[in-house]
């Protein structure tokens, strides 16, 4: 049985849905963990929601845990979970039994049929990557820049140049350059770098940005790594996005 604030649970569900509709949820003694890649292998989400984010966190046989097991796995239809969480205010009591997840909140009780976890793609490994730039940006500003870029192109260059963080989009008749100097950013440590990314994927991820500040890790022609805290610091999300190759 787990008890957690409905808005925190909703936040987690949204961050996962930015990449996949269904995923394996691993329940450990200290946290929930989800790691999934989209079908095209372009975007990855890695979420950890620690025990401290819950007001009750107890694993019992009814949670599918067999004696002595340290973790167990369920297959969660996050899209359907979002549908039912829409109606939950305040605290949600969540329990897992056999192939069912039950969510109870105020007068509502919802049950969802779980998915056989073996039918969902296995968790990917997260590649060990080095980045040359680390930038902390305001999440709302970054979302707004991505929306502006979407009006102009289907892809966007993100990078650092001479102490300025930039986002660039180039259309047939228009261009956009967004540029913020080091002094206007929470943090920027970096060499120059630049990578190109699909706006379709970035815009989807932007729906999951559930924090005021995002930490971006950038290199040249390299994946983009976006990190932020959730659940008042009792959880963390990492997104990774593969770069596009810049046409010469």
Does 148 help bind a copy of itself (rule: CB under 8 A)? yes
The answer to whether 201 touches 142, Cβ cutoff 8 Å, is no
Among 41, 55, 58, 175, binds a copy of itself (CB under 8 A): 175
Q: Say how many residues touch a copy of itself, by CB under 8 A.
A: 28
Residue nearer to a copy of itself on the CB measure, 65 or 104: 104
Based on the number of CB atoms within 10 Å of its own CB, is 166 exposed (0-12), middle (13-18) or buried (19 or more)?
middle
Candidates 210, 239, 208; CA nearest to 38 is 239
The answer to whether 26 touches 9, Cβ cutoff 8 Å, is no
Does 154 help bind a copy of itself (rule: CB under 8 A)? no
Based on the number of CB atoms within 10 Å of its own CB, is 52 exposed (0-12), middle (13-18) or buried (19 or more)?
middle
Does 83 help bind a copy of itself (rule: CB under 8 A)? yes
Residue nearer to a copy of itself on the CB measure, 108 or 122: 108
Does 109 help bind a copy of itself (rule: CB under 8 A)? yes
Residue nearer to a copy of itself on the CB measure, 77 or 117: 77
The answer to whether 218 touches 193, Cβ cutoff 8 Å, is yes
Does 192 help bind a copy of itself (rule: CB under 8 A)? no
- Extract the tokens encoding 129: 């990557």
Residue nearer to a copy of itself on the CB measure, 40 or 173: 173
Candidates 81, 19, 64; CA nearest to 241 is 19
Residue 2 CB, nearest approach to a copy of itself (Å): 19
| CA 48/CA 26 separation, integer angstroms | 10
Residue 168 CB, nearest approach to a copy of itself (Å): 10
C-beta neighbour count of 56 within 10 angstroms: 12
Among 41, 55, 58, 113, binds a copy of itself (CB under 8 A): 113
Does 177 help bind a copy of itself (rule: CB under 8 A)? yes
Does 160 help bind a copy of itself (rule: CB under 8 A)? no
C-beta neighbour count of 30 within 10 angstroms: 12
Q: Per CB under 8 A, which region of 24-32, 177-185, 221-229, 236-244 contacts a copy of itself?
A: 177-185
Residues near a copy of itself (CB under 8 A) are 77, 80, 83-84, 86-87, 107-113, 141, 144-145, 148, 151-152, 173-180, 184
């Amino acid at each position: 049985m787990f008890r957690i604030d409905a808005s925190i649970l909703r936040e987690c569900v949204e961050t996962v849905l930015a990449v996949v509709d269904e995923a394996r949820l691993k329940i450990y003694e200290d946290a929930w963990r989800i790691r999934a890649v989209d079908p095209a292998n372009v975007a990855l989400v890695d979420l950890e929601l620690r025990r401290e984010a819950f007001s009750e966190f107890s694993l019992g046989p009814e949670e599918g845990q067999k004696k002595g097991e340290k973790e167990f796995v369920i297959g969660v239809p996050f899209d359907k979970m979002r549908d039912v969480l829409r109606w939950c205010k305040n605290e949600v009591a969540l329990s897992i039994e056999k192939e069912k997840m039950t969510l109870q909140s105020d007068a509502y009780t919802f049950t969802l049929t779980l998915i056989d976890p073996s039918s969902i793609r296995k968790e990917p490994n997260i590649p060990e990557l080095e980045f040359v730039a680390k930038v902390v940006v305001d999440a709302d500003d970054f979302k707004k820049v991505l929306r502006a870029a979407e009006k102009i192109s289907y892809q966007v260059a993100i990078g650092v140049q001479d102490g300025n963080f930039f986002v660039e989009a180039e259309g047939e008749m228009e261009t956009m350059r967004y540029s913020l100097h080091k002094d206007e950013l929470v943090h920027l440590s970096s060499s120059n770098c630049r990578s190109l990314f699909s706006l379709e994927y970035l815009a989807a991820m932007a729906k999951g940005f559930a924090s005021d500040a995002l930490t971006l890790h950038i290199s040249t022609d390299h994946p983009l790594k976006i990190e932020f805290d959730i659940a008042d610091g009792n959880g963390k999300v990492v997104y990774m996005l593969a770069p596009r190759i810049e046409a010469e």
